[in-house]
Amino acid sequence: MNIETILTESIVEALKSLYGQEVAPEKIQLQKTRKEFEGDFTLVVFPFLQLSRKKPEETAGEIGAQLAATQPVIASYNVVKGFLNLAIAPSYWIGLLQEIDLAPNWGKVEADENSPLVMVEYSSPNTNKPLHLGHIRNNLLGYALSNIIAANGNRVVKTNIVNDRGIHICKSMLAWQKWGEGETPASSGKKGDHLIGDYYVAFDKHYKAELSSLMAGGMTKEEAEAASPLMAEAREMLVKWEAGDKEVRSLWQTMNGWVYEGFDETYRKLGVGFDKIYYESDTYLVGKETVLEGLEKGVFYRRPDASVWADLSGDGLDEKLLLRSDGTSVYMTQDIGTAQLRFRDYPIDKMVYVVGNEQNYHFQVLSLLLDKLGFSWGKGLVHFSYGMVELPEGKMKSREGTVVDADDLMEEMIATARETSEELGGKLSGLSPEEAAEINRIIGLGALKYFMLKVDARKNMLFNPKESIDFNGNTGPFIQYTYARTRSIERKAAEAGVNTECTSAPAAVSEKECSLIRMLNEYPAVIRQAGSDYSPSGIAAYAYELAKEYNQFYHDYSILREEDADVKAFRIILTRNVGKVIKSAMNLLGIEVPERM
């Protein structure tokens, strides 16, 4: 039984004994005691004044005295106005540490076959360009959210929807046909997604040159765009694709295959993955079918020009186009089709979409439409809306000079980690080149991920690579270094033959040690709160505070040189569990921690 439950039950009994009335446990308001006051937990006594009919201070004093007399876990209490501060006995914290030590998955709730099934969609790339900085934030948020939701006892399916059709795809295909000369990833040495992205840029370059030429001949910009032979060819290719033209479809499959190989390499390096990938080339037709079924049922209506719309004015929104007059679909139609396929594949209880905040209205509409179409989870779908991420001016721009490439950014972060380690006097000296390279990879990517995830996702953020890799302060490397420190202490203790299985508790436990155990005790609640709020930043903040608290303890107290065997064993067990929880929290964020740094 955790300490909060023990205290709540004891307070209910104390109130009954003092004032003769039962109080529901949910009425008990327990908070962490503020740092400027002595104590571990604070009880707000104002709700009980109607029972005591006494002043707040007097009521708090009576409850404190009753608890101290009847509950051994309470060492002392003090009253500050209408607040009762309760100090927990060190013996309780020692017992709690032993409990945490025996729990390999402390803080997490295991799912079973009857647990709710939550699907999380993230990434959602286009197959005409590589993944970029925005995709990095999206993937990191989606992967971390999936881990946090799973740690709260849910079954989770991680999914991706790939935008693999449309005019933008045809632009890359047409450019390759015209100027590619049979170039492939193998012949060029380029990743497939980078190669296709280069042809997308090439199309744009030739298209702009064509527009300039037409406008120089006297056309307006609008006239030039309408008359562009290159754009007309791209549109013709799209028509052929939709008609199932064998040659166009074959080229489409080949070039998309190159892109997927490139994407997979980026995902592996970033440390994210998916259980199921959907493709818009499969979902858009299902979406059209679903919309037409909704039309037959009277959920939607058709206008005189044959277009199909949803009237959401009764829900406080406007009317929404679902099928154009020529029968072609829009993004909303494709999202409906994707939802239909997912619902067929999985018994979804909740759907979470990780998509930027520029799509807030889109998901408001999608939620209503799915609900009207009969999807049980439609109205309760979660749009995890996040802000944009930018780099300082001039930092790591891609070849085009406009987009920050994900692969380039990751390589730059690993290189920065290597440079930083060298500047700090060879922290990795004594390791083989391969071991040092692996640690630099872990540090570089850990810095990138933590910096992205520590910020409230709803806010726009500025990513500063150099700042993110600092070994001090609220950074990934600082937390990783703290974990490596705990592992170093464990290794040295084992080499020295220190017995950490001692059953004798130390005679006294310091306030700092109790504070660390209190923080370990909070981890399950932190996971629950992060799951409830859909907040990876909550996990990041906790990991940083725990690392900071442990480092203060490490500097203030002797561990391996402690002469009292029981105290030494206790501190090593405490160290081991701090490391365990730091690793667990960082893993929820998708961040690796090195065994040594």
Number of H helices, E strands in the chain: 21, 14
Indicate whether 100 belongs to any domain: no
CA-CA-CA-CA torsion sign (255, 261, 263, 266): negative
Question: Do 82 and 222 belong to one domain?
Answer: no
Question: Do 164 and 31 belong to one domain?
Answer: no
CATH number at residue 13: 3.30.1360.70
Please state the separation of Cα 450 from the chain's center in Å.
Answer: 10
Indicate whether 101 belongs to any domain: no
Question: Do 484 and 412 belong to one domain?
Answer: yes
Contact 470, 477 (CB under 8 A): yes
Question: Do 363 and 488 belong to one domain?
Answer: no
Indicate whether 110 belongs to any domain: no
Question: Do 461 and 329 belong to one domain?
Answer: no
Question: Do 351 and 484 belong to one domain?
Answer: no
HEC per residue, 392-434: CCCCCCCCCCCCCEHHHHHHHHHHHHHHHHHHCCCCCCCCCHH
Question: Rounded to whole angstroms, what are the CA distances from 495 to 245, 489, 564?
Answer: 69, 10, 18
pLDDT digits (tens, 9 = 90+) for 196-208: 999 999 999 999 9
Query: Which candidate, 156, 124, 131, 118, places its Cα nearest to that of 362?
Result: 124
Indicate whether 564 belongs to any domain: yes
The alpha helices in 217-324, defined as continuous H runs, are 221-227, 229-242, 246-270, 280-296
Indicate whether 104 belongs to any domain: no
CA-CA-CA-CA torsion sign (425, 427, 431, 436): negative
Dihedral angle, C-alpha 303, 333, 259, 209, nearest 10 °: 30
Strands 30-32 and 41-44: antiparallel
Indicate whether 399 belongs to any domain: no
Q: What domain count does the chain have?
A: 3
* Residue at which a domain ends, from 71, 88, 105: 88
Query: Which candidate, 58, 93, 96, places its Cα nearest to that of 79?
Result: 58
- Residue 500's pLDDT is 82
CATH number at residue 539: 1.10.730.10
User: In this prediction, what percent of the chain has a pLDDT beyond 90?
Assistant: 81
Residue 228: other Cβ atoms inside 10 A:
18
Going across the sheet that includes 301-302, the strands are 301-302, 308-311, 319-323
Q: Can you tell me the distance from the alpha carbon of 336 to that of 333, in angstroms, rounded to the nearest whole number? A: 5
Question: Do 413 and 514 belong to one domain?
Answer: yes
Question: Do 348 and 291 belong to one domain?
Answer: yes
Question: Rounded to whole angstroms, what are the CA distances from 514 to 39, 87, 167, 574?
Answer: 11, 11, 62, 10
- Residue 14's pLDDT is 96
Indicate whether 103 belongs to any domain: no
Question: Do 354 and 436 belong to one domain?
Answer: no
Region of 194 (left: φ > 0; alpha: ψ -120 to 50; beta: rest) is: alpha
- Residue 509's pLDDT is 86
Indicate whether 96 belongs to any domain: no
CATH number at residue 363: 3.40.50.620
Question: Do 200 and 293 belong to one domain?
Answer: yes
Question: Do 295 and 156 belong to one domain?
Answer: yes
Question: Do 169 and 270 belong to one domain?
Answer: yes
Contact 479, 583 (CB under 8 A): no
- Residue 427's pLDDT is 65
Strand, coil or helix: 34? coil
- Residue 502's pLDDT is 58
Q: Which residues of the chain are modeled with pLDDT < 70? A: 1, 393-402, 425-427, 502-504
Which residue has tokens 């449309």?
166
Contact 516, 550 (CB under 8 A): yes
pLDDT digits (tens, 9 = 90+) for 290-349: 999 999 999 999 999 999 999 999 999 999 999 989 888 888 999 999 999 999 999 999
- Residue 376's pLDDT is 86
Which residues make Cβ contacts (< 8 Å) with residue 22, sequence separation at least 6?
12, 16
Q: Can you tell me the distance from the alpha carbon of 544 to that of 148, in angstroms, rounded to the nearest whole number? A: 17
b/e burial code for range 270-295 (CB count within 10 A of at least 16 → b): bbbebeeebbbbbbbebbbebbbebb
Dihedral angle, C-alpha 118, 121, 122, 125, nearest 10 °: 160
Which residues make Cβ contacts (< 8 Å) with residue 208, sequence separation at least 6?
none
- Domain residues for the domain of 245 are 117-390
